[in-house]
Amino acid sequence: MAHDHLIEVLDLDVEVLHAYHHELITWVGREAADRPHIADLGAGSGSGSLSLARELPGSRITAVDVSPEMLAHLRARADAAGLGDRIRTVEADLDRPWPDLGPLDVIWAAASLHHMADPAAALTAAFQALRPGGLLVIAELEGFPRFLTGTADEEAEAHWHAVAAKGRHDAGLHMHENWAARATQAGFTEVTERHFDIDLRPPLPEATTRYAAALLHRMRHGLGDRLSPSDLAALEQVLAGLPGRNDLTVRTERTVLLARR
């Protein structure tokens, strides 16, 4: 059930933030070699792998994840989309020595490096796995999207996010690393960083409500022992009222780094 919920979040992220994802993949396509072999690190539900395969004709994708459930979902999606011959899956824990994935032209790490126990070691492994001239892509989020900006629930949502951020910090997640410095230390050059400030206003498509519900349900599950009873009641009230709202927004920030081996 936990994996099903995360799959929904990841898939809806690509659907709702499609303009950002399209711009990012188009940028990568301009910088990558022709017909690139791409490793998608922490591929999750496969939305990134499928988008890369669709947007970059001739590319081959190796999708890497530690979860066999995620990889099974990814393989089913790739086959259903007619992309199964261009996307292969590899089950691996990237905090251990990496399997042979290469030779690689692009390493795509979208919202995955902050989960690594040792990001410096992961970037060193990425450097070694790429061909000379290969491209590293790191796309990281500053925090989870917010949906209630400008509403009476904005202050409560800000509090939930502050509690969630402290939880991620306490858990040792690397949410605010200097990825440019990390990449340079690992040997990468030609480091370029872009910041995307995403601000979607109503009216928004129906998928936005499902995206908000999925993320807030995930937050409710993760913060159950960190929020006061009144905070939990407020969060549950917002969740119950989501289907009838027309004032949802989507505010989020993404930082993307491209670097060369």
DSSP-based helix, strand, coil % in the chain, nearest 5: 45, 25, 30
Span 55-98, pLDDT tens digits? 998 999 999 999 999 999 999 999 999 999 999 999 999 999 99
Quick one: pLDDT at residue 1? 45
Q: Rg of the chain over CA atoms, in angstroms?
A: 19
Quick one: pLDDT at residue 3? 63
Sorted by sequence, the CB contacts under 8 Å of residue 164 that are 6+ apart come out as 143, 144, 219, 222, 223
Quick one: pLDDT at residue 224? 82
Structural domain harbouring 90:
2-260
Q: How many domains does the chain have?
A: 1
Quick one: pLDDT at residue 177? 92
Closest CA to 156 of 227, 206, 213: 227
Domain of 223, CATH number, reads: 3.40.50.150
Two tokens, residue 144: 């989870």
Helix (H/G/I), strand (E/B), else coil: 246:
coil
Q: Which residues of the chain have pLDDT under 50?
A: 1
